Amino acid sequence: MIKVEKLSKYYGDVKAVKSIDFTVNDGEILGFLGANGAGKTTTLKVITGYLMPTSGNVYVNDMNILEHSHEIQKQIGYLAELNPLYNEMIVYDFLEFIAKIRRIEGAAYKKALVRVIDQCGLSGVVHRQIGACSKGYKQRIGLATAMIHDPAILLLDEPVTGLDPNQIVEIRELIKELGKEKLVMISSHILQEIQATVDRIVIIHKGEIVADGTSQELMSGFVGNTQLTLEAHKVNDESLQTFAATHPAINVVKTEDLKNDHRILHLEYAKEKDPRTEIFKFAVDSGWVITEMSPHQIELENIFRSLTKEGGSNA
Ligand SMILES: Nc1ncnc2c1ncn2[C@@H]1O[C@H](COP(=O)(O)OP(=O)(O)O)[C@@H](O)[C@H]1O
Ligand SMILES: [Mg+2]
């Protein structure tokens, strides 16, 4: 488990992270979402022990990072944002090199190599030069190096950024598979890249946490109206006025008049009240001929955008 308590990190005058709190539970894949410069990399580097916090506490499996950084680093695998690799090296030699740096020795050495090659799907490229591998494979190699010591926790900083859609799907599958056994925290500045992979989302904006929950929780907690477009023929002024008078909970935002009482109505109502059946009955009674009725659900992307827009705040 990772527990972050009132964590702040300043670089001189730059307040990169401002008293944030969140936890990541074992067996969970957490998406850490925020625009560029929001404070994601800084937070991840503090958790791994590469950066000292300015104030606050971070516990990894109940150990404080300030007191047990060495032990914690054994339990964490970290894939940095710009995953640096030696392009001229052969994949297998590179993995051997990383295992040696990690001081994995004896029987464990061969086992570790076999394990990461299998876990990261690298068997087809082990004899290839790293520079000759696709971006997707380079990311797998980065993952393999982050996992060579078999950590229980994986922190992945923008692991799918820059990959093409097919590669994103492949890495996503791999991360999901790894997430069955490990606690995984993935950062991203693009919601769509991680939404399908993660169990829960924490959104950081200008160094502050502005949302924390599952996709469902974030969407249901967001107060807003449902918009509905209704297109119908034979909608005369009189029936439209009757509709407005008899349905006070439905706001007629706008009407577009096409030819001969053919109209498009833009309606809005509180999201927990779905009046479509009622609208349909009214239409039948009034002789309206409905050709389209489509509600527009609030999407998580809109919530993310409204929480993180420039100048926006978490007030
Ligand atoms: N070494 C540093 N020195 C000074 N400012 C930094 C440093 N690293 C990051 N920052 C600033 O801290 C803020 C958060 O950066 P970062 O954690 O990299 O955000 P993210 O990973 O979400 O893009 C930004 O304003 C960035 O410019
Ligand atoms: Mg970053």
Same domain for 54 and 171? Answer: yes
132 assigned to some structural domain: yes
Q: How many domains in the chain? A: 2
Q: Residues 261, 236: contact at Cβ < 8 Å? A: yes
State the pTM of this model: 0.81
pLDDT at 314: 39
pLDDT at 153: 97
310 assigned to some structural domain: no
Same domain for 274 and 142? Answer: no
**How many whole angstroms from 39 Cα to the centroid of ligand 1?**
6
Compute the C-alpha angle 25/204/315, nearest 5°.
115
Same domain for 204 and 256? Answer: no
Domain boundary among 201, 219, 237: 219
Domain boundary among 219, 250, 271: 219
What is the distance between the terminal CA atoms of the chain, rounded to a whole angstrom? Answer: 29
Helix (H, G, I), strand (E, B) or coil at 76: strand
pLDDT at 315: 35
Can you give the residue range of the structural domain that contains 286?
225-297
Which is the closest atom of ligand 1 to the Cα of 14? 5
Same domain for 211 and 229? Answer: no
Same domain for 258 and 133? Answer: no
Low-confidence stretches of the chain (pLDDT beneath 50) = 312-315
* Partners of residue 11 on adjacent β-strands: 14
Here the tokens at position 29 are: 């894949």
Same domain for 170 and 35? Answer: yes
Q: Tell me, what CATH number does 193's domain have?
A: 3.40.50.300
257 assigned to some structural domain: yes
pLDDT at 162: 84
pLDDT at 298: 66
Same domain for 209 and 253? Answer: no
Q: Tell me, what CATH number does 236's domain have?
A: 3.30.70.980
Same domain for 214 and 253? Answer: no
pLDDT at 311: 55
Same domain for 6 and 87? Answer: yes
Burial of 234 (0-12, 13-18, 19+ CB in 10 A): middle
What letter represents residue 138's amino acid?
K
**How many whole angstroms from 190 Cα to the centroid of ligand 2?**
12
What letter represents residue 207's amino acid?
G
Here the tokens at position 36 are: 């560029």
- Euclidean distance between CA atoms 89 and 104, whole angstroms: 20
Q: Is 36 in the pocket of ligand 1 (CB under 6 A)?
A: yes
307 assigned to some structural domain: no
- Euclidean distance between CA atoms 128 and 134, whole angstroms: 11
Same domain for 200 and 182? Answer: yes
* 13-28 pLDDT per residue, tens: 999 999 999 999 999 9
DSSP-derived secondary structure letter, 35:
-
**How many whole angstroms from 191 Cα to the centroid of ligand 1?**
20
Same domain for 93 and 70? Answer: yes
